[in-house]
Amino acid sequence: MAARIKPVMTDRAVIWAATGLAVAVMLLLLAPLGALGLSFSAATLTVAEGSALRFTLWQSVLSAGISVVLAVPVARALARRRFVGREVLIATLGAPFILPVIVAVLGLLAVFGRAGWVNGLLATLGLPAFSIYGLQGVVLAHVFFNMPLAVRMILHGWQAIPTERFRLAQSLGFSPRDVQRHIEWPMLRAVLPGAALVIFVICLASFAVALTLGGGPRATTVELAIYQAVRFDFDLPTAARLALLQFGLCALAFLVAARVALPSGFGAGGGRIGGPPAPGGWHRAGDVVAITLAALFFALPLGAVVLRGVPGLVDLPGQVWAAAGRSLGIALASTAVSIGVALVFAMAAARGRAWPALAATLPLAASSLVLGTGLFLLLQPYVRPSSLALPVTFVINAALSLPFAFRILAPEARSLYTDYHRLSQSLGLTAWARLRWVVLPRLSRPLGFAAGLVAALSMGDLGVIALFAGDAEATLPLIVHRLMGAYRMDQAAAAALVLVALSFTLFWIFDHWGRRYAAA
């Protein structure tokens, strides 16, 4: 049917623009991969590389498994209890997605670190201390980031169960156990594998967490090994080999993720009437404990950063503000590019083409360090890498956030097209008039939300910049990391506070702007 619609000028303009951008995205991904391939020499992995691969897979499995298992009781409690602040809590579960990794790590160190609150408690009780470095620390941080995502996905599954089914169960006299067995467990069986897979894939490309909490022969991810090969050993053939290995991991994950219908993590949690029955007694106590522990697990580290960071705000070193300016510039530039490209792809996809979706999601198959290493190999014979740190970070941030922006925009662009394409055509709206009077106003809400996500992600990103930056090019997350490395923890916390404030403010401004503009 769509193929029968006559292509008109604006359609052609969109398709041509999308084609050009798709070629650009392909080149951006293929050129670094080509450079990696050319410097490929030996196919065998050294012992260290093999253990990096094993660690990467093992920590991903553990992180995914633990996140999902812990998320189930929290999601169930949120699904069946109604309390003041529930909506806020559910909305807050989306926050870790845009929380800069380095900020969370700093908070986790304050709570679980050597001199942290938990170890203080353990010492008082006469128990052995918990070390946050190594596998357990990496997994802890991954659970911190991904359990909220799992909760949202599982909560979505719970809310998708028709209320009638619970009413039927009640009328048949089901006990809570029967409800679990006949209604809730089948839902979980359908939702959990997808949720675990998403988290597994996210953790495969973990860099910043491994950089700060991992390291050493026993806790190095492939991404971290790439960084070390370039930065410490300047062993470019090894870096290339590792980058290809990481690309293989990501590409595999990409193929799996493309085949499995991923549960949605956004927008769950309306205040619907009904829902699962809320049994009393110890079930109730269990739910209270689950929600309280989860809320503390997320609130304490952030609270620790705030407590520690506020005093240091007054005399932050000047380099922090300079780095904040650089980070803001990169975030805004990559947001503009990423959202612009995603919008063109979304509009082309709405016109019934399949390839724009592929072009927009392809960056998922690459990681920050893989692309960075490829570009490093390409460019370092000609220019000093540090002089390219900021442009490269901007381009890679824009490319890597493209899939998220596209996913948010595509369905909205599709329904806009279905509803108003013929009217726009019959009025003879030009491409510009259509953008100004139809597309931007109608899509401002998803555009604002997507722009907020991309800006916050880019603001907090600590990836490729670490590969390229010298002293004069550091972004704010990198400055926080360097302050931590120098054990200037109070300054690190203050800079982290600035970082998290900027990230959330960027998100809020864009999202708010989108909603306001869409108010009509």
Binding mask 440-479 for other proteins (x = CB under 8 A): -xx-------------------------------------
Structure-block tokens of residue 179: 């409800």
**How far apart are the C-alpha atoms of 400 and 405, rounded to whole Å?**
10
Is 438 a binder of other proteins (CB under 8 A)?
yes
| Phi, psi dihedral angles at 181 (to 5 degrees) | -70, -40
Q: Which of 4, 189, 259, 272 binds other proteins (CB under 8 A)?
A: 4
Q: Which stretch binds other proteins (CB under 8 A): 36-44, 289-297, 425-433, 452-460?
A: 425-433
Q: What minimum distance in Å lies between the beta carbon of 446 and other proteins? A: 14
| Dihedral of the alpha carbons of 196, 447, 372, 229, in degrees to the nearest 10 | -40
Q: Is the separation of the CB atoms in 402 and 343 below 8 Å?
A: no
Is 433 a binder of other proteins (CB under 8 A)?
yes
Q: At what angle do helices 318-350 and 440-460 cross, to 10 degrees?
A: 140
Binding mask 375-414 for other proteins (x = CB under 8 A): ----------------------------------------
Tell me, what DSSP letter sits at residue 273? S
Q: Which stretch binds other proteins (CB under 8 A): 206-214, 243-251, 266-274, 415-423?
A: 415-423
Q: Which stretch binds other proteins (CB under 8 A): 21-29, 99-107, 256-264, 435-443?
A: 435-443
Within a 13 Å sphere around the CA of 503, how many CA atoms are in the beta-carbon half? 27
Q: What minimum distance in Å lies between the beta carbon of 438 and other proteins? A: 6
Q: In the complex with other proteins, which residue's Cβ is closer, 361 or 424?
A: 424
| Phi, psi dihedral angles at 219 (to 5 degrees) | -140, 55
Tell me, what DSSP letter sits at residue 96? G
**How far apart are the C-alpha atoms of 74 and 277, rounded to whole Å?**
15
Residues forming beta bridges with residue 215, ordered by sequence position: 219
| Dihedral of the alpha carbons of 398, 403, 407, 413, in degrees to the nearest 10 | 60
Is 513 a binder of other proteins (CB under 8 A)?
no
Both ends of the chain: CA-CA distance in Å?
A: 32
Q: Count of residues binding other proteins (CB under 8 A)?
A: 25
Is 420 a binder of other proteins (CB under 8 A)?
yes
Locate the DSSP E strands across 403-465: none
Q: What minimum distance in Å lies between the beta carbon of 355 and other proteins? A: 22
Q: What minimum distance in Å lies between the beta carbon of 430 and other proteins? A: 6
Q: Which of 87, 178, 419, 490 binds other proteins (CB under 8 A)?
A: 419
Q: What minimum distance in Å lies between the beta carbon of 377 and other proteins? A: 48
Is 13 a binder of other proteins (CB under 8 A)?
no
Q: Which stretch binds other proteins (CB under 8 A): 138-146, 373-381, 402-410, 424-432?
A: 424-432
Q: Which of 430, 485, 486, 508 binds other proteins (CB under 8 A)?
A: 430
Q: At what angle do helices 389-426 and 318-350 cross, to 10 degrees?
A: 30
CA dist 236 to 39, 48, 232, 251, 389, Å?
A: 8, 16, 11, 22, 18
The single-letter code of the amino acid at 395 is V
Q: Which of 50, 217, 352, 428 binds other proteins (CB under 8 A)?
A: 428
Q: In the complex with other proteins, which residue's Cβ is closer, 266 or 420?
A: 420
The single-letter code of the amino acid at 136 is Q
Q: Is the separation of the CB atoms in 332 and 455 below 8 Å?
A: yes
Q: Which stretch binds other proteins (CB under 8 A): 35-43, 190-198, 426-434, 479-487?
A: 426-434
Q: In the complex with other proteins, which residue's Cβ is closer, 211 or 416?
A: 416
**How far apart are the C-alpha atoms of 451 and 415, rounded to whole Å?**
20
Q: Which of 26, 256, 423, 486 binds other proteins (CB under 8 A)?
A: 423
Applying CB under 8 A, the residues found at the interface with other proteins are: 1, 4-6, 8-9, 419-420, 422-423, 425-430, 432-433, 436-438, 441-442, 518, 520
